Amino acid sequence: QKEVEQNSGPLSVPEGAIASLNCTYSDRGSQSFFWYRQYSGKSPELIMSIYSNGDKEDGRFTAQLNKASQYVSLLIRDSQPSDSATYLCAVIPNTGFQKLVFGTGTRLLVSP
Amino acid sequence: GAVVSQHPSRVICKSGTSVKIECRSLDFQATTMFWYRQFPKQSLMLMATSNEGSKATYEQGVEKDKFLINHASLTLSTLTVTSAHPEDSSFYICSALGTSGRAAGELFFGEGSRLTVL
């Protein structure tokens, strides 16, 4: 089992819709969770971090964490074509000091 | 915000040569830097953790003699791909962990370096 799993997609949504991206992780002791956005040929950029169960909202983005189910998600409201990118879920397992483990990423396509 | 600079952003080299990639934290100190490799359509894979003033810690399956890491100062880590082969062609990305001021505890990514070995 991979440490961090994501559906590779692509996930296609129309402009203005809500995009829902999901991620599961294997290390039950993980405490830190991150969502990064990566455009083709570019380095990842941090969108959200979440550390406790529940929802965390920042503008159009909402991260949701459920440690019991080992599940973290990212909702993007009012999706824009500029949101089209690969979204990487990253986790710091209980074993590492700020050692991020990335999922394979989900490619999001927002059509005008 | 804090900035991490990687150089070169793109490099093309012949098989058998060595290539050095630099990762600099421009406005903060970083005792720990991480080196990742990303193949096309794949995720970032951690290669090694670079610690200032000590030997790097390599992930399983990464050859330490092939990927030389030097972290000689609080703002600079270098990755040298020795005797590069076409299969080493990849996107190499560093990240730096801030240890002071506004950057303390935060992780910042460099822009990445695309290596093509002919």
Q: Which residues of B touch A41 (CB under 8 A)?
A: 91, 112, 114
pLDDT, greater one: A9 or A1 = A9
Decide which of B36 and B101 is more confident: B36
CA distance linking residue B49 with residue A99, whole number of Å: 8
Instruction: Note the pLDDT of residue B115.
Output: 97
Q: Is a pLDDT exceeding 90 seen at residue B90?
A: yes
Give the distance from CA B18 to its chain's centroid: 15
Structure tokens at A44: 């990842």
**A93 shares contact with chain B (CB less than 8 Å):** no
Q: Does B11 touch chain A (CB under 8 A)?
A: no
pLDDT digits (tens, 9 = 90+) for B13-63: 999 999 999 999 998 888 899 999 999 888 899 999 998 888 899 999 999
Q: Average pLDDT, whole number, for chain A?
A: 93
Are B78 and B20 spatial neighbours (Cβ–Cβ below 8 Å)? yes
How far from B6 is each of A69, B3, B92, CA to CA, in Å?
Answer: 38, 10, 9
User: Which residue has 């990240």 as its token pair?
Assistant: B95
Spatial contact of A36 and A88, defined as CB atoms under 8 Å apart: yes
Round to whole Å and give the CA distance between B99 and B29.
Answer: 6
Looking only at the bridges linking them, the beta strands covering A101-102 and B57-58 are unpaired
Q: Which of A47-61, A62-76, B71-85, B103-117 has the lowest mean pLDDT?
A: B103-117
Query: How close, in Å, is residue A81 to chain B by CA atoms?
Result: 20
pLDDT in tens, A9-53: 899 999 999 999 999 999 998 988 999 999 998 999 999 999 999
Per-residue confidence (pLDDT) for residue A107, from 0 to 100: 96
Beta bridge partners of B48: B35, B58
